[in-house]
Structure 1
């Protein structure tokens, strides 16, 4: 069986550096044969081992919302470039830390299997940072979404909630220990985060980075784009704004020590 990995890239947020790193991490952690396909609107700088295909065509407008990555709905059509059969989707900003082989043999080939959403522990919610599906299985979702994209986005908020609740035949989850959420399951709670770096949980094969924190933030430390990259910047924010906003510890809770294991894995 050829293991088929896919990813999607549009716009300027990620691009070739992320695609190339993801390919390299996959190649180090998978038993051949495998393919790695990127559906993209820009092929510049992408390494030759990556099979590039155009973004799948759609005949509806993708809503611009604060929540949900609805352009992923392009992957739900009856065709997916030249691919058929089972594919494993990976977000561009995750870190592969262990073997991916079992993600292809877990469950049945016809299953739709998602990572668990650690941000919503009391909701049976999947995470589409990592999910496996047969090409064409999610066509009913795309049709429903295409009929009124703004209404669906408003009702479900996140595309992963739409997939979780409406996938034909329901969804399954990958084992909890295989896929971990960096901020909720790796980063230590305050005040330990001030002194110790985030840990890599035992048996983790993939660490996902939903939200504002990216792998490069973990490598450098701090929280770039929030309070700054150094502890002194966080302490200053704590003094300047924390008590004024009645949330005195929010700035210190966001601080990260540099994480060496992310640097070790997140590379070409």
Structure 2
């Protein structure tokens, strides 16, 4: 039985994201699998999804931090007892898009390895990225324990949950084969200004496309960077908007342009 886990809390992602993840898994996983969702609101989830209450972080939330520290509850000693999970389990962020068979994610390396995607935004620092990672349930409880002992200190030293995990795994983390897990902004989106004329491409060999730091796949699907922007905006409309009254970050606005992305319509569906 292949095991997958996701985390849903707050209002950023509704039940449709979990249900869509289940549908993508059904199409791209051979044989039986189990999807566990840790959540603060299980309303609307498909009955095939095993939903459990999302544990509390167990400490004060760090100040001045952008890290998604709530994901550290995955390293709790009693996760297996609460969910029935054991051995290696694959975590997938809800804003990820599965585009091909992912059986290899369950068998790559040793079952006790902690396997992360590379942090492609900082390739020379040998950091991991936790949009898609595999870990042995209950094997490294010190990660959550050490964070709870000094959450602000951990945040100040590492900045992000995934940087802390990279440093905290005994013996070091492993990485997925580099073609498997692709970063949308860095591997799919054409460089500026070509993105004004070309849609994002689906890289050859990709199995999962991740969207860390945005834009959200739901927005990319309709050709916008955020929900606050108009969908299907033409290049000229977007350029004009950069010089509208009140816009202070014009260069950032100009670079944040994306055309509607047809391959998402095929893959990012329940």
TM interval, short-chain normalised: over 0.9
Distance 2:189 2:228 in 1: 16
Matched length: 265
- Name which of 141, 156, 159 aligns with 1:157: 159
Alignment partner, residue 147 of structure 1? 149
Alignment of 1:239 onto 2:229? no
Structure 2: segments with no counterpart, 5+ residues: none
Distance 2:3 2:252 in 1: 41
Distance 2:62 2:251 in 1: 35
Query: Contact conserved, 2:90 with 2:133, CA < 8 A, in 1?
Result: yes
Cα displacement (A) at 1:57: 4.9
**Cα 1:121/1:65, change in 2 over 3 Å:** same
Query: Contact conserved, 1:194 with 1:252, CA < 8 A, in 2?
Result: no
**Cα 1:66/1:264, change in 2 over 3 Å:** farther
Alignment partner, residue 62 of structure 1? 61
Please give the root-mean-square deviation of Cα atoms over the aligned residues, in Å. 1.9
Cα displacement (A) at 1:240: 3.5
Aligned to 2:132, what secondary structure does the other structure show?
A: strand
Distance 1:233 1:23 in 2: 37
Cα displacement (A) at 1:13: 1.1
Alignment partner, residue 88 of structure 1? 90
Alignment partner, residue 27 of structure 2? 28
Residues 184-222 of structure 1, C-alpha deviation per residue, up to 9 Å, x if partnerless?
A: 110001221111100000010000001130001110002
Alignment of 1:134 onto 2:136? yes
Distance 1:249 1:169 in 2: 42
Cα displacement (A) at 1:132: 0.3
Aligned to 2:124, what secondary structure does the other structure show?
A: coil
- Using the size of structure 1 for normalisation, the TM-score is 0.93
Aligned to 2:90, what secondary structure does the other structure show?
A: strand
Cα displacement (A) at 1:58: 4.6
Distance 2:41 2:244 in 1: 43
Cα displacement (A) at 1:226: 6.4
Distance 1:194 1:95 in 2: 23
Distance 1:222 1:15 in 2: 19
Q: How does 1:72-221 map to 2 (within 5 A)?
A: 72-80=71-79, 81=82, 82-221=84-223
Alignment partner, residue 268 of structure 2? 266
**Cα 1:53/1:70, change in 2 over 3 Å:** same
Distance 1:58 1:71 in 2: 6
Alignment partner, residue 19 of structure 1? 18
Distance 1:126 1:61 in 2: 25
Query: Contact conserved, 1:56 with 1:75, CA < 8 A, in 2?
Result: no
Distance 1:121 1:155 in 2: 19
Q: How does 1:243-258 map to 2 (within 5 A)?
A: 249-258=251-260
